Each structure stands twice: as structure tokens, then as C-alpha cells.
């Protein structure tokens, strides 16, 4: 057994309201944490800590749970900077751009994709992320969706089958057959490599009927449900996610009062991805409205080459505070405990005894600095 004392923490964000100041962030000051064999073994006031094998001095810096990024598309080849530049010159975003990345990803070898994925995972860790969900969705053929999920599984257990990302070129004139493939043979082959299934419910992607068929088939294969919902305009995605008991509805940019009420009644988490709104120059999701209605809000990067090529949760936190109406405390909770809730995990996203010892340190005295100092590389993984 190896135990390490992380000592002289100026502000410890536990995300456990049972400790410290009783707020959702569960703040402790002048604190210490002991990690033993990868798990949190003790936390409390500096000076009260038990004896340990090693000691790391934090010099008054802030420690938070490692970020839980519950929505990413990290396995892909190529990039679409020209599409981004065109949008910034006035072009709208269209779901069909996904096919450009599908073409590049299909021609890449496993080893090329692994190298790209590993570099992206390392990039997330340099910014404080310790848990990642990763979707397939740039293969859209049975053998390619399997290999994207296998590659994702090499770096995380939180893998999501997204065969229903867009109808691929070769099925453009027969989308119903593609829905049958996704809900049938492709799902059968991919389910062993996935924990979740997701559908992009949107004009230009999949409608509610197709999404229902695919999500219900996924559920029969014991996959948990997630939905890309209400991103580009109002639509049925959020209602469907709530009705089917999805863990999370993601994007939630265009919501009716009915959608908000459904989320607050169902317990489906609203995962906001303001990096996508930034990169598509779209209106931001109204996080304040969701929180005021009692909805659980998560924040995620949606890292993908089309709409949100950022892996930075600190950037997402800053956007959520400035543009979605979250307070700095709410945003930090949503990027840690909120992401964990969206993945139905209790062992990450919080610094509590028994949880994984995933600690992120800020080169700052408190959590507010994440939004207060946007663009400054304050966060990095300390343990985990
Ligand atoms: O979450 N909305 C669907 N999927 C991605 C976009 C993917 C792409 O454009 O390549 C998203 O925004
Ligand atoms: Fe996405």
C-alpha cells in the first residue's frame, strides 16, 4: 500500500455538500487529502492528517476533483478548419459536415487513429480532465464503428456507440435501411464495446421515430441512453430522452418550457456544451433557466473537429459562466460532479472517501479563477 498526503491546500473543492461549508461545492480551507492505492482514504484540515508514505506540498493552491468530460468525439482523423473559417465569415453550420470527417477516418489506419487519440487524451489531462466519455460516430460502417469503439476502450470504459451520428453518403437515398443497420447488425457488433448508445436527433440527422427505434434497440442490449438533443433548433430530442429515461440530453440549446419541465421531472441531466455554440457562432444554452427549474446540469467539451475542437474544460467553464448564466461555483460543480452524474458515476467527480483519487490542481487560490482568468492554463492533473 502506498499513501500520499496532498497537504497545504488553500481551498479544497470536494463537491460533497456534507463536508466543509455545506454548499454544493463542499469547500474546505487549509485542507489536506490522503490518497492510498488510487482511492481517497482521508480528507480534512491540514495538521490533522494521518501519517503517510509521501507528502506533496500544495503551497495554498486550490484542488478540485479531476474534470469529468461526459461528451467527446475524440476518435477521428483529419480536421475542418476551413469549415470553421467559413462559419466565422457567415456560413451556417450543417450536420452534413460530419461526412467529411467520416471519409478521413475510414481511410486512417488503427495505428494512425491511436496516435491521434493518445495525443488528444494527453491534451485533456494537461488541462485537468481525468474521466472521459468517448463516442464513435465517424465510421458509420460496421467494421469502422467497431474499431473506433475498440480504440476508445483502450483509454476509457465510458464508450458510446454513435452509429446514428448522420446517415452516411452511401445510404443518402435510403436512410431507412441505414436506421435498420444501426439498430440491427451494427448495434449487435458494437454493443460489447460500448456502455452507452447515443443518437443525433436533428434536421439533417435523425428524426424522433428513427431515434426511438435505435435507442430502444440499444436498451435491449443493456446500453445506457444519451441523446444529442435540440442543438440547432427546437425539436423532439429532449422529450424523447426524458421519456426513455436517458442519462443525459446533450446540447439543449433550443428548449421550450415543456422541455425544461420534462427534464426537471425525469432526472435526465442537461449536458451543456458551450464550446459548440462558440465554434458555430450560435446562441448559447440558457443554463440559468435549467438550474432554476431544478434540472441537473453538466458541462462537457463535445470535443470534435466540426463544432467544438476544444478539449478544455476550463474554457467551457469560462463560457458557461459568461454566456450560460452559471455562477463560477455551479460551473465547477457541473464540470466535475455534474459530468459524473451524466455518466451515472458516483466514484469520480467528487473528492470523498472511497472515490477514485482523481485530483486536479489549479495554479490559483480558489475555484473562481477558472472563469475569472479565461484562457490561462491554470488546471493540471495532480493525481489519477
Ligand atoms: O456534437 N451534433 C453532432 N455531433 C457533433 C458535431 C460533429 C461534427 O460536426 O463533426 C456535435 O456537435
Ligand atoms: Fe457531440
The DSSP string of 7-75 is EEEEEEE---TTSTTSSTT-EEEEEEEEEETTEEEEEEETTSPPP-SEEEE-TT-EEEEPEEE--B---
φ and ψ of 227, to 5 deg: -140, 135
For residue 112, pLDDT beyond 90:
yes
Q: What share of the chain is helix, strand, coil (3-state, %, to 5)?
A: 40, 25, 40
Confidence grade of residue 21 (pLDDT, cut at 50, 70, 90): confident
Q: How far is CA 272 from CA 189, 217, 285, in A?
A: 30, 26, 7
Among the atoms of ligand 1, which is closest to the Cα of residue 76? 10
Interval between CA 97 and ligand 1 midpoint (Å): 8
- Looking at the CA of residue 101, tell me the nearest atom of ligand 1: 10
Mutation choice for ligand 1 from 103, 163, 200, CB with most ligand atoms inside 8 A: 200
Tell whether the model's pLDDT for residue 1 goes beyond 80. Answer: no
* Amino acid 93: pLDDT: 87
- Summarize pLDDT for 50-79 with one digit per residue, the tens: 999 999 999 999 999 999 999 999 999 999
Q: Is 228 in the pocket of ligand 1 (CB under 6 A)?
A: yes
Q: What angle do CA 80, 83, 87 make, to 5 degrees?
A: 145
Phi/psi region, residue 60 (left: phi>0; alpha: psi -120 to 50; beta: rest), is: left
- Establish whether residue 200 lines the binding site of ligand 1, counting it when its CB lies within 6 angstroms of any ligand atom: yes
Q: Calculate mean pLDDT across residues 13-27.
A: 95
Q: Residue 96 pLDDT > 80, yes or no?
A: no
Please say if the pLDDT value at position 220 is more than 80.
Answer: yes
pLDDT at residue 261, as a whole number: 98
Nearest bound ligand to the CA of residue 76 = 1
Cα–Cα distance, 17 to 175 (Å, whole number): 48
Q: How far is CA 101 from CA 71, 84, 202, 305, 307, in A?
A: 18, 14, 18, 8, 12
pLDDT digits (tens, 9 = 90+) for 236-293: 999 999 999 999 999 999 999 999 999 999 999 999 999 999 999 999 999 999 999 9
Ligand 1 mean position, distance from CA 98 (Å): 7
What is the Cα–Cα distance from 226 to 343, expressed in whole angstroms? 9
Q: For residue 300, how far is its CA from the centre of ligand 1 (angstroms)?
A: 13
pLDDT of residue 211: 98
- Tell me the Cα Rg of the chain: 20
Residue of 63, 15, 62 lying closest to 339 (CA atoms): 15
Task: Give the Å distance between the CA of 220 and the centre of ligand 2.
Answer: 23
Domains of the chain: 3-65+350-383 (2.30.40.10), 67-342 (3.20.20.140)
Amino acid at each position: 500500500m502506498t499513501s500520499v498526503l496532498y497537504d497545504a491546500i488553500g481551498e479544497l473543492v470536494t463537491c460533497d455538500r456534507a463536508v466543509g461549508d455545506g454548499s454544493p461545492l463542499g469547500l474546505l480551507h487549509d485542507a489536506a487529502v490522503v490518497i492510498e492505492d488510487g482511492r481517497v482514504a482521508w480528507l480534512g484540515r491540514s495538521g490533522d492528517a494521518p501519517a503517510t508514505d509521501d507528502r506533496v506540498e500544495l503551497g495554498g493552491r486550490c484542488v478540485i476533483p479531476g474534470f469529468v468530460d461526459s461528451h467527446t468525439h475524440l476518435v477521428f482523423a483529419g480536421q475542418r478548419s476551413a469549415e470553421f473559417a467559413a462559419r466565422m465569415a457567415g456560413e451556417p453550420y450543417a450536420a452534413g459536415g460530419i461526412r467529411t470527417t467520416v471519409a478521413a477516418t475510414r481511410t486512417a489506419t488503427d495505428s494512425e487513429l491511436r496516435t491521434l487519440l493518445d495525443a488528444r487524451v494527453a491534451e485533456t489531462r494537461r488541462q485537468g480532465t481525468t474521466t472521459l466519455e468517448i463516442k464513435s460516430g465517424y465510421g458509420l460502417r460496421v467494421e469502422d464503428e467497431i474499431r473506433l469503439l475498440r480504440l476508445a476502450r483502450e483509454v476509457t470504459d465510458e464508450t458510446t456507440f454513435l452509429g446514428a451520428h448522420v446517415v452516411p453518403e452511401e445510404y443518402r437515398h435510403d436512410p431507412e435501411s441505414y436506421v435498420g443497420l444501426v439498430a440491427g447488425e451494427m448495434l449487435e457488433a458494437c454493443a460489447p464495446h460500448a456502455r452507452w448508445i447515443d443518437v443525433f436527433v436533428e434536421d439533417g440527422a435523425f428524426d424522433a421515430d428513427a431515434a426511438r427505434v435505435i435507442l430502444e434497440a440499444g436498451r435491449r442490449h443493456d446500453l445506457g441512453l444519451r441523446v444529442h438533443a435540440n442543438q440547432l433548433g427546437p425539436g423532439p430530442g429532449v422529450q424523447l430522452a426524458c421519456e426513455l429515461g436517458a442519462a443525459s440530453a446533450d446540447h439543449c440549446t433550443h428548449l421550450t418550457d415543456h422541455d425544461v419541465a420534462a427534464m426537471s421531472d425525469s432526472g435526465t441531466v442537461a449536458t451543456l456544451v458551450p464550446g459548440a455554440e462558440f465554434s458555430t457562432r450560435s446562441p448559447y444554452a440558457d443554463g440559468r433557466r435549467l438550474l432554476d427549474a431544478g434540472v441537473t446540469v453538466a458541462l462537457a467539451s463535445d470535443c470534435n473537429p466540426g463544432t467544438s475542437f476544444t478539449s478544455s474544460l476550463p474554457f467551457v467553464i469560462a463560457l458557461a459562466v459568461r454566456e450560460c448564466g452559471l455562477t463560477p461555483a455551479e460551473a465547477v460543480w457541473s464540470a466535475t460532479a455534474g459530468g459524473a452524474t451524466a455518466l451515472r458515476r458516483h466514484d469520480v467527480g467528487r473528492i470523498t472517501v472511497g472515490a477514485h483519487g482523481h485530483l486536479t490542481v489549479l495554479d490559483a487560490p480558489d475555484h473562481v479563477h477558472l472563469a475569472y482568468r479565461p484562457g490561462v492554463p491554470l488546471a493540471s492533473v495532480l493525481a489519477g
